Each structure stands twice: as structure tokens, then as C-alpha cells.
Amino acid sequence: MSRRATVRVGLTRTTKRHRSAAAAAAEAAWYERVPWAAPRLLAVDGPLLLLETCTPQVRCGPGWRPAAELYELLLRLHAEGIHHRDVHVRNLVRGHDGQPLLIDWETAIHQPADLSYDLHGPDASGVPVPEIHAGHTPQWWGSPQRMSIRSQWGCDVPAQTP
């Protein structure tokens, strides 16, 4: 699979360069729509997104596993009919207030559903798997993928801290 975007993480600003301005604009719209669930979007310039840098979960160490807080965040997104559709530890960052935020909103979708794709997966939710994940195991909290929340943190929905 070819790379859809390149990311450079700086001390205070992170840049994400998409292959097209349209892809960048589509992702930027999610950062603007759910500013409480994502790092702050600073600017969009053609195919380039400029975001405020937050600490990636994988750099926070094993002591930062905000399962209950992430669960609440995903419930709040679901209440608004929003599904990120790529929830895993590499797409999780720690906000400046210590709360979890999601990055990489390329696969997000608005679709009312009885269950959250991000918490329960595509089969239970009825929300479609993103095209970019076709032929691969989808990412959601309990996905069998190596980087899923369940695989990495040893907890499942509802959020249970190990």
C-alpha cells in the first residue's frame, strides 16, 4: 500500500502532507467539527495540515492508558453519529490536559448507528469498513490487530483498566 500522507512531528507543531488538497481539506473538516476530540488544527494550506503537537500514546509510556477516558470520548463521538474508524494506540495522543485525543481522521464518517464502530467494530455497528482498510482487518477497540486498544492495553469494552 502506498503512503497516503507524510507526517512530521515537531516540538509544538505537527505537519501532515496529503497527496491532494482535497484529502487534506476533508480531514481538516473533522478537526474543525470535533475540536474536543482531536489536537488543535492550526492551518490548512493546500495538501498540508498544521496541527498542534500532542504527545503520542506510544511515547507516553505504559503508565498512560486512559481506557475510561477514551471510552467516554468514543461514546461522545457515537452520540453525534461520528465514527473515527481507525482507533488504535498509534492514533491516540495525550492532550495538554492529559485527556486522550484522536489523530488521523481520514477514515471518519458521520452515520447514525445503534452501536459505535470504534467500540464494537463494523459487524456489530453496521457502519462500513473504510475503503483504505478493504482486504485488511479493520481497526476498532477490540480488533484482533496488534495495535488495537484491547491487544495493547489488555482491556475490552466497556473500558476496564487492567
110-156: pLDDT as tens digits:
999 999 999 999 999 999 999 988 888 899 999 999 999 999 999 98
In whole angstroms, what is the distance from residue 153 CA to residue 162 CA?
A: 7
Look up the pTM and report it. 0.93
Q: Are 99 and 69 in contact (CB under 8 A)?
A: yes
**Spans of all domains in the chain:** 5-153
Q: Are 67 and 124 in contact (CB under 8 A)?
A: no
- Which amino acid is present at 46? G
